[in-house]
Amino acid sequence: MVAVERLQALIEPAVEAAGFALVRVALLGGREPTLQVMAEDPATGQLTLDQCARLSGRLSDLLDAADPIPSAYRLEVSSPGIDRPLTRLADFARFAPHLARIELAEALEIGGSRRKRFRGLLAGTEGGEVLLDAEGLGRIRLPFAAIASARLVLTEALIRATAPLNPAGADVLVAETADGRRLPKPRPAEVTA
């Protein structure tokens, strides 16, 4: 199996050269694995469909030339979404005070018991630690290096704070053709009485 760290080292410079920030690289299993690349525009924290397509083309060329995955795979380039994974220490400060779920690689002694999973409001970072107002525990410190996975929890406050880049076209219905093209779908006729 290909090491994700090796893929990230190959992909990150190309993402940054395109003017974006890499959020996550994951190789998701199956007979034909998917190489998932999440990136964001530092100005917006999101990617538009056009930005995803442009970055996908650039990464596809790079991966074809380097051939780091010996078997067939699919490349998926996406924006991290609203309930995004938190992968960099700076993410934990940037998204304070939103609700997050954090899982550690190994359980730590916190609040009188050993725990791996926490849920609470992000309270920033200090040194190499994540500050979390954890449900049932109060303010705790989690070593960033010990975090196996973390993501924001979809809440009304997060939705309000994550305004869309441009709502134009958000109400357009889209149909996918048999050959995979996406076309605007005609709206049903409005019924008037």
- Give the pLDDT confidence of 8-25 residue by residue, as tens digits: 999 999 999 999 999 999
Which of 30, 54, 78 lies at the terminal end of a domain, its last residue?
Answer: 78
Nearest to 18 by CA among 56, 74, 68: 56
What does the alpha-carbon distance between residue 140 and residue 117 come to, in Å, rounded to a whole number?
12
Q: List beta partners, residue 174.
A: 184
- 28 found inside a domain: yes
Domain count, the chain: 2
Nearest to 41 by CA among 17, 23, 56, 21: 21
Give me the DSSP letters along 127-186. TTEEEEEETTTEEEEEEGGGEEEEEE---HHHHHHS--S--TTTT--EEE-TTS-EEEPP
* DSSP conformation class of 191: P
Across 13-22, 52-61, 153-162, 178-187, least confident range:
178-187
- 183 found inside a domain: no
- Give the pLDDT confidence of 93-130 residue by residue, as tens digits: 999 999 999 999 999 998 788 999 999 999 999 999 99
- 130 found inside a domain: yes
CATH code at 20? Answer: 3.30.300.70
Q: What is the domain range of residue 153?
A: 89-158
Nearest to 93 by CA among 67, 121, 69, 54: 121
CA 32 to chain centre: 21
pLDDT at residue 193, as a whole number: 47
